[in-house]
Structure 1
Amino acid sequence: MSLEKEYVKIARDVIKGLGGEDNIISMAHCATRLRLVVKDRDIIDDEFIENIDKAKGVFFTSGQYQIIFGTGTVNKVYEAMIGQNVSATSKAELKEQASTQDDNFFKRMIRVFGDVFVPIIPALVATGLFMGVRGLVTQPALLQLFGLTPDDISQNFLLITQILTDTAFAFLPVLVCWSAFRVFGGTPLLGILLGLMLVSPSLPTSWDVAQKVQDPLLFFGFIKIAGYQGSVLPAFIIGVMGAMLEKRIRKSVPEALDLILTPFLTLLVTLVLGLFVIGPVFHEVEVLILAAVTAILKLPYGIGGFIYGGINQLIVVTGLHHALNLIEIQMLVDTGRNMVNPISSASICAQAGAALAVGLKARNVKTKSIAYPSAMSALLGITEPAIFGVNIRYGKPFMMGLIGGAVGGFFARIFNIQATGMSITAIPGMLLYLNKQIIPYIAVCLIGFAVAFALTWLFGFKEKTETK
């Protein structure tokens, strides 16, 4: 069978398992999963779909039926589904359709955080890598190999590296406002302009105010105003409010005046409220949230790392991990370091270890064919195939993975490992630890992997469980 015919057969089997084409409202995909909004969840044959060639698991969440195929494969299945006349739509539209079937406010808010922050993560990933590379090339030990010292590095070279590492964080409100306007149906260009106003050079910068280099502007004797360089939550709230205000104004003004009045009123009202009310209030909220999370992670004797490492992949299962992007971003802005990433990496490697143990112990060819690539995918930072396709399916391997993550997280805090960036983990995440932390980082990942593998091998999986 040719490759094209193979994926056509998979698409037809998916449609059959879903209850026919009439039961599919729309479809999209992410890096690993085919996401579908369906009319009737109850008529779907989960067992049939799980046994489709190349399928690694299924689950239903946030109003979407999701089939895990893995990176690369999901793109080909998606194209084959389109060839079978299944309606395709964007992920944002798909989630809007799903929300009509799932009115849980909490879940909708989690989706909103994901929709706003996920598109800006590539910029922050690149920034983190630049920080890691700069840390590596400026290390005295490395320079000494070439007969150099840090004083020999050109100031112009350091300036270029500073542009690469500082720009994304200095203009972070621009990225956040742009993305919030895009998600909430506003004009993205207005979001960009509003974000630029929040970091206008006419305002004293938040960093200069924090270091007492400059005083904030004082209005009405008690409202202190400064730029919002590096702020996340205030920019998010301001961007959401601006987009919603723009849509309301557009509905109210005469069509002939829309081009003039809508952007004028949107920017004026949003900026005034942002600088005088929303910004000051939510900046304090942001500080309190970050302080609380940091205090938990810094609990003595590695307790914080043990707790977070143990629940990290539970958070992934619920989808809450997208909301935590805000915490990691703010840590990087404030300190240039990310305490969450090494703990997450240990927990991800632990799920890989559990999945690999299942693959090695299983006799069923289908189980092996899912477990091995799922373990490899997890080692590259994508755990959904391992979690939903293998570990949760058999129950105990997932629990053993959580234990491995807790142990790895414990050592991550004991060693005080902190990343220079975010969003790349496990093996690719090594690039964030080139500043003399690479050895302890590899150690905590291996610890998480080994503990989960050993526990799953000894106690977490039996062939009779798999063949029921």
Structure 2
Amino acid sequence: MSKKINILAPAKGQVLALNKVNDEVFSSGIMGEGFGLEPLEGTIYAPVSGIITMVADSKHAIGIKTEDELEVLVHMGIDTVGLNGEGFEVFVKQGDKVAAGQKIATMSLETIKLHNLATTVMVIVTNSTAKLEGLDLEEVETNEKASVAAAYVKSAVVKDGKLDYDALADVIIENVGGEDNIKSLIHCITRLRFGLKDEQKANDEVLQDTDGVIDVIHASGQYQVVIGNEVTAVYDAVMKKLPNLSDNDEAEEETSESKGISGAFNQLIGIITGSMSPVVGVIAASGIIKGILALLTLPQLGNLLNVKSEMYITISAMADAAFFFLPILVGFSAAKRLGGNPITVAVIGGFLTYPQMIAWGKAFKDIFVIGNVHFQFLNYTYSIFPMILAAWFAKKLEDYLKKILPSFLQMIFIPMFTILVVSSITLLITGPVIQGLANGIADLINVVVHSSGWIGGLIIGGFYQLLVIFGLHWGVVPLVAQQIAGSGESALNAIISVTMVSQGAAVLAAAIKTRKNDLKSLGIAAAISAFCGVTEPAIYGINLRYRKVFVSGLIGSAVGGFITGLMHGSMYGFTGSLIGFSSFFNPKHATDLTSFYAFLFSSIAAILVSFILTWVWGYNDSMAQGKKVEKRKLNK
């Protein structure tokens, strides 16, 4: 990605390409890229806007620094330093601000010619190597202050070897069509998910070719910019530059794309994504802690930690907190996504996890009975879907109350009515129905995966990462969380885990095999990310661009899924891939290592199959990289 800056003619005259200038220092490009001009008149104008950084004592040269940090030198005549200022008059001083086209100096063409010197005016970008991708030039006879060249400034998204998030945010905003084209923005683990008014205004090719952007995806009714592990920092930078932007799009007008079954499905995925993505990190971290605790209680390791000790109970409480109070976390997150009041919905979640409510829920105490219908309390700790629906109801009710209540009553009575009404509806109707369905579906999937054994493992392992390409895996994430929350384990997640390992092994093979330095560094970083449970950098950065690498990963994960299913492996935590090894220890039966062995054997198989296939078939340096565009070639 580059930014175009127009450079004006500093005087009236004939513009010359740099290599036609009669001076070896300038024409060779040693000083930098630029152009010459044979002046017809002696008045000199600023070719760019900026700050005057230098005025030579001999008055023959002036330096200007633009806001994009281009350092532009205006050099009047060749070898004119020896005139010691004779024939020159300068109207600016160091530190002055100048606008492009502003008069900055005069030079006496007659005086210079009397000394047998060339009058050529040079305009040189002295920091071209660091700042320019190229320079377009028109060799024409021109008037002063006319645009004769275009400098393409390198995007400043990398600074001192690290991403400059503010600069990257500017590039992204500009190339999704500008601020006016953005309706909403949320993010998941690796992607910025924009709601755009017109996706045709977005510049896919420029974004794909920007440092810090892995790829661009059109899916789920969203314009998705794949960033990778640094997505949160980039999201914060974008939101800082768009203070009036909401991170919800629930109140947007319906478009033709949002109607119908497809539109409803896209909206549902968007709501689930926005509700769950901020919560996934703490669930994953909690799962790792619980797995490590289970590991430390293994008799094979000498019972390093006693399950009845204060330390175990304290650390276990830290891990359990995210699951126990999941309704509060999901409710808060869902309300933000939908544009409601997050605090109000968090209070509703707090009501569902209130100790007395939990005690009555565990005992299935009757709230009241109508005929033969018993309305009972349920235990809503660890629940997800009831709170997403509660957040939606709360948003609708808040909007209605804002229309009918006077403004001076809204601050107190909107939260009051919302808490009373939505809590009651959730407790009596939607909670039991949604929770019952969610638990039933989650348990059914667990049973099917367990019972199908190697068949389920082979199919899910072979195809799961295809869902990641389109962002549809977010429809599976809540089900996995529901399984772990409800039954304490997820056979589905055990298979999903090995798909991450295989994509990491495939990209690692490509990184080790290649002699391309940029591909090697990207591949190693992407492999580490995949082994830590995030495969998007591997998939979009390399594997999909060299499709055989991706297919090699799918074959490896099919083999790994086959072994996991054959051994009936299961997971007891959320975090997958190699970093999630501790999630395969059963916290309730520390001596049962069946799932850990399933993880170990399936991961080894997936790594070997994916790595070897990629090495011998999936990748070589002669392969053409797909989809991502080359940088624009500019005239020098």
TM-score with structure 1 length normalisation? 0.81
582, 596, 603: which is aligned to 1:431?
Answer: 582
What is the Cα deviation at residue 294 of structure 1? 1.5
* Helix, strand or coil at the partner of 2:247: helix
Q: Deviations over 1:61-99 (max 9, x none)?
A: 3455444454349947985x899xx75776824898899
Change (3 A) 1:365 1:66: farther
Change (3 A) 1:373 1:204: closer
The structure with more strand, counted as a fraction of residues: 2
Out of 332-341 and 361-370, give the one that drifted further: 361-370
* Structure-2 residue corresponding to 1:92: 247
Is the aligned partner of 1:122 residue 2:276? no
Is the aligned partner of 1:105 residue 2:267? no
Q: Deviations over 1:239-289 (max 9, x none)?
A: 321232122212221223223432232222222222222122222211331
* Structure-1 residue corresponding to 2:462: 310
Change (3 A) 1:206 1:440: farther
* Structure-2 residue corresponding to 1:395: 547
* Structure-2 residue corresponding to 1:455: 613
Distance 2:516 2:502 in 1: 23
* Structure-1 residue corresponding to 2:374: 223
Q: Deviations over 1:355-413 (max 9, x none)?
A: 23333454555544433332232222221121122222232322222221121112122
8 Å CA contact 1:397–1:460 kept in 2: the answer is yes
* Helix, strand or coil at the partner of 2:544: helix
Change (3 A) 1:43 1:369: farther
Change (3 A) 1:246 1:113: same
Distance 2:173 2:337 in 1: 33
Distance 2:598 2:247 in 1: 39
8 Å CA contact 1:10–1:53 kept in 2: the answer is no
Distance 2:442 2:455 in 1: 18
Change (3 A) 1:446 1:57: farther
What is the Cα deviation at residue 46 of structure 1? 4.6
Out of 160-169 and 301-310, give the one that drifted further: 160-169
The letter for the 2-side match of 1:430 is F
290, 303, 322: which is aligned to 1:131?
Answer: 290
Distance 1:466 1:291 in 2: 45
The letter for the 2-side match of 1:327 is L
Change (3 A) 1:216 1:156: farther
Is the aligned partner of 1:295 residue 2:447? yes
* Structure-1 residue corresponding to 2:299: 140
* Helix, strand or coil at the partner of 1:128: helix
Change (3 A) 1:114 1:91: farther
What is the Cα deviation at residue 101 of structure 1? 8.9
Is the aligned partner of 1:378 residue 2:536? no
* Helix, strand or coil at the partner of 1:393: coil
Distance 1:19 1:301 in 2: 45
What is the Cα deviation at residue 173 of structure 1? 2.3
Distance 1:32 1:387 in 2: 12
The letter for the 2-side match of 1:431 is S
* Structure-1 residue corresponding to 2:603: 445
* Structure-2 residue corresponding to 1:195: 349
* Structure-2 residue corresponding to 1:255: 407
Change (3 A) 1:75 1:265: closer
* Helix, strand or coil at the partner of 1:337: coil
The structure with more helix, counted as a fraction of residues: 1
* Structure-1 residue corresponding to 2:504: 352
Change (3 A) 1:50 1:191: closer
Change (3 A) 1:248 1:359: same
Larger relative contact order, structure 1 or 2 (CA cutoff 8 Å, min sep 6) = 1
Distance 1:285 1:119 in 2: 24
Out of 122-131 and 323-332, give the one that drifted further: 122-131
What is the Cα deviation at residue 25 of structure 1? 4.2
* Structure-1 residue corresponding to 2:389: 237
What is the Cα deviation at residue 346 of structure 1? 0.9
The letter for the 2-side match of 1:136 is L
Distance 1:99 1:4 in 2: 41
* Structure-1 residue corresponding to 2:229: 71
Distance 1:252 1:244 in 2: 13
Specify every segment of 5 or more residues in structure 2 that has no aligned partner in the other structure, as ranges: 1-129, 131-155, 627-636
8 Å CA contact 1:11–1:77 kept in 2: the answer is no
* Helix, strand or coil at the partner of 2:568: coil
8 Å CA contact 2:453–2:568 kept in 1: the answer is no
TM-score with structure 2 length normalisation? 0.62
What is the Cα deviation at residue 50 of structure 1? 3.9
CA RMSD of aligned residues (A): 3.8
8 Å CA contact 1:249–1:262 kept in 2: the answer is yes
Distance 1:245 1:377 in 2: 42
Change (3 A) 1:299 1:37: same
Q: Deviations over 1:87-129 (max 9, x none)?
A: 5776824898899695222112111001112222233223323
Out of 227-236 and 356-365, give the one that drifted further: 356-365
Specify every segment of 5 or more residues in structure 1 that has no aligned partner in the other structure, as ranges: none
Distance 1:11 1:380 in 2: 25
The letter for the 1-side match of 2:581 is M
134, 159, 162: which is aligned to 1:4?
Answer: 159
Out of 249-258 and 364-373, give the one that drifted further: 364-373
443, 468, 482: which is aligned to 1:330?
Answer: 482
What is the Cα deviation at residue 347 of structure 1? 0.5
Distance 2:225 2:378 in 1: 44
Distance 2:275 2:625 in 1: 42
Out of 69-78 and 277-286, give the one that drifted further: 69-78
Out of 426-435 and 3-12, give the one that drifted further: 3-12
What is the Cα deviation at residue 22 of structure 1? 8.2
Distance 2:330 2:173 in 1: 41
8 Å CA contact 2:188–2:274 kept in 1: the answer is no
Change (3 A) 1:312 1:20: closer
Distance 1:351 1:405 in 2: 8
Change (3 A) 1:216 1:138: farther
